[in-house]
């Protein structure tokens, strides 16, 4: 990736994100928001985050791997348990990384 396209990427993401942040603060009083919009947007975090997580666990090296040799899947499931119980980013990272290292040290080649 060239330096130019990298900075253009930051600008495109940044300007788009700013527009999303500013949109309704700017429009307030000027238009009425359609009623279905906030009800649909509510699902964005759950859908988007799951769509990033699932394939990262099932396709650790680019192809589908549901075997017990897929340490990232196992460590990810362990991390998910911690995430479920604590909802804490730091605890989840610590638990998942520790599990990954233990599995690699014990069963890795």
Partner 1 sequence: MNKDFIAGAKGALPILVGVIPFAMISSVAAVSVGLSFTEAMGMSVIVFAGASQLAVIQLMSIGSPWIIMVLTAWVINLRFTMYSATLAPHFQSLAAWRRAALAYMLSDQAFGLSMSHFVSTDEELNHRWYYFGTALTIWVVWQLSAIMGALLGPLVPASWGFDFAFPLSFTALMFGSLRDRPTVIAALTGGSVAVLGKGLPYNLGLVLAISAGIAAGYWSENYKKSRVMK
Interacting positions 40-99 with partner 1 (CB under 8 A) = 40-59, 62, 64, 72, 75-76, 79-80, 82-84, 86-93, 96-97
CA distances from 88 to 49, 67, 77, 85 (A): 15, 28, 15, 8
The rounded Cα 78 to chain-centroid distance in angstroms is: 17
Minimum distance of partner 1 from residue 67's CB (angstroms): 15
The only residue of 4, 35, 39, 105 in contact with partner 1, by rule CB under 8 A: 39
Nearer to partner 1, 68 or 88 (CB): 88
The rounded Cα 48 to chain-centroid distance in angstroms is: 7
The only residue of 4, 28, 31, 106 in contact with partner 1, by rule CB under 8 A: 28
Q: What is the DSSP letter of 55?
A: H
Q: Is 22 in the site for partner 1 (CB under 8 A)?
A: yes
Q: Is 103 in the site for partner 1 (CB under 8 A)?
A: no
Q: Which has the closest alpha carbon to 23: 12, 14, 9, 33? A: 33
Q: Are 76 and 56 in contact (CB under 8 A)?
A: yes
Q: Is 17 in the site for partner 1 (CB under 8 A)?
A: yes
The only residue of 4, 10, 105, 106 in contact with partner 1, by rule CB under 8 A: 10
């Amino acid at each position: 990736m060239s330096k130019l396209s990298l900075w253009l990427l930051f600008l495109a993401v940044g300007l788009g994100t700013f527009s999303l942040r500013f949109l309704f603060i700017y429009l307030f009083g000027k238009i009425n928001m359609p009623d279905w919009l906030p009800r649909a947007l509510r699902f964005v975090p759950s859908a988007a985050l799951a769509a990033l997580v699932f394939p990262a666990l099932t396709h650790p090296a680019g192809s589908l791997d549901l075997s017990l040799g897929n340490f990232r899947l196992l460590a990810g499931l362990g991390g998910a348990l911690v995430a479920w119980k604590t909802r804490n980013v730091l605890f989840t990272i610590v638990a998942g990384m520790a599990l990954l290292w233990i599995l690699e040290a014990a069963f890795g080649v």
